[in-house]
Amino acid sequence: MPKRDRSQFLRELKAAFAEITSQLNAEHGLLHFEVDVFRRFTQRAIFDGERDTAVQCFLLAATYLTEGNSAMRNAIDVSFVEPMEFGSPPNERRWAWEALPEVLKNAYVAFHGKSAV
């Protein structure tokens, strides 16, 4: 089975979250910037307490970290997982960390050297 690629990612992302389509299109095909649009959308969901949206984002990101081609895996790791914030004080958004799939937690801990909470 072929690995999931950028085109498939954008189709799934735009289908799930049509409200960020214009922002994605404005990045002119630059994958890391497109993934950052997705991360900022996810970050806003976390900060606004939109749990269902955040979880849906986490699941999509986890899928591409595990099933994506090398470019997708790298983009999700570097531009989605690494800059993710879970709030200050840390326990304020503990629910988001607890909802994060293990594969994303592992990537976060590998980069930051500790969990977010």
What percentage of the chain's residues is helix, strand, coil (to nearest 5)?
A: 75, 0, 25
User: Could you read off the pLDDT of 36-58 as tens digits, one per residue?
Assistant: 999 999 999 999 999 999 999 99
pLDDT score of 86 more than 90: no
Phi-psi region of 87 (alpha: psi -120 to 50; beta: other; left: phi over 0): left
Q: How far is CA 24 from the centre of its chain?
A: 14
Average pLDDT on 77-93 reads 84
> What is the overall mean pLDDT for the chain?
93
